[in-house]
Amino acid sequence: MCCKGGKVTISQVPAPDELLQLFLDSSTEGRHFRQHIRSYNHVMSFTSLGVHVDESLIAIGRGIYTSRAQGVIYHKIGGFHPNQGSRPRYLQLYIYDTDHELQNRMRENPILNQVVVLLIKECSSNQPQYSLPSAFQVATIVIGSGDEDTIERGRDINVINCDGKLTKVQETMGFYDPLHKRDMIQRYQDGMAIVLNNGKPDIFLTMTCNPSWIEITSEVGLHQTPQDRPDVLTRIFRSKFDQLKDDVINKGVLGRVKSYMYVTEFQKHGLPHVYRLLILDTDDKLREPEEYDSVVKAEIPRHEYFFCHTLTDSLSEVNHNFQ
């Protein structure tokens, strides 16, 4: 089932030579690493494992060691700051002063070999996101001071009660998830109802914020990048998106729009991005190749960064979180 009878193969990721030697060689460090491998994994982990273990299997005393978990397996990430009088653990070790990071890990478990811990910590990698920090200090931004009034000024989430009144809730409350995981389903069903009533979308329009827009570059400081000014990026993008919306929906530059839906997301590099589906009026639908050529563009203009596609078969490329 997992590989379709051997038809699916996954390329093997080569292990770093330093770690491979720890698994294979007969040196003192290698033998110590294999004997205490779970302890080394523990001292490098971000979170602790939380689970209820069924001890009845251990009590039998026959066969190999077996453990059985009951209920949900979860992870405890903890806070960014250790409690007063406690040493840093798990994630706290990664944001603690890097000058003392190795000593803090050794204090977590004295049986570990300092040479092996240093080797794992400084294992070389070609991927920039896994490279070691070039500075001796690591900064972490923690929002809020811990006061209740500060915590309550998070996301503004209001719920309509059965009596019609609004109630403000925090996103950390347990009942917020089902209210949210339900809002998403309702938006999806609304989108499917629009397609059922008006037909398949004719145009798949996307728009991405361009950090080279003159409106953005003129507001960026000398030693800043556009990603350093998310306030400027989002405001200018929203302004241009509203203009595009007016051109497409109200002015009908692509044809008279019968209905539409869209979703906004932020890409990995922090740039806002919009997906929009357009269902054109019957008289303006695209049918001939010349009509498609008049709409679909395969270029990136200098000051307007958006693409126009056509959909004729399915909605498989569309994010179902309609807004």
Q: What is the pLDDT of residues 180-229, one digit of tens each?
A: 868 889 998 999 999 999 999 999 898 989 889 999 999 888 888 888 88
Q: What is the pLDDT of residues 48-97, one digit of tens each?
A: 777 777 777 666 666 666 777 777 777 777 677 777 877 777 777 766 55
Domain segments of the chain as ranges: 17-130, 177-310
Here the tokens at position 142 are 């923690």
Task: Check: CB of residue 119 under 8 Å from CB of residue 22.
Answer: yes
Task: Check: CB of residue 158 under 8 Å from CB of residue 167.
Answer: yes
- Concatenating the DSSP letter of every residue in 73-90 gives EEEE---SSPPTT----T
The radius of gyration of the chain's CA atoms, rounded to the nearest angstrom, is 28
9: CB partners within 8 A, 6+ apart: 3
Separation CA 303–CA 236 (nearest Å): 12
Q: With 90 as the cut, is the pLDDT of residue 119 above it?
A: no
149: CB partners within 8 A, 6+ apart: none
Report pTM: 0.45
What percentage of residues in the chain have a pLDDT greater than 70? 74
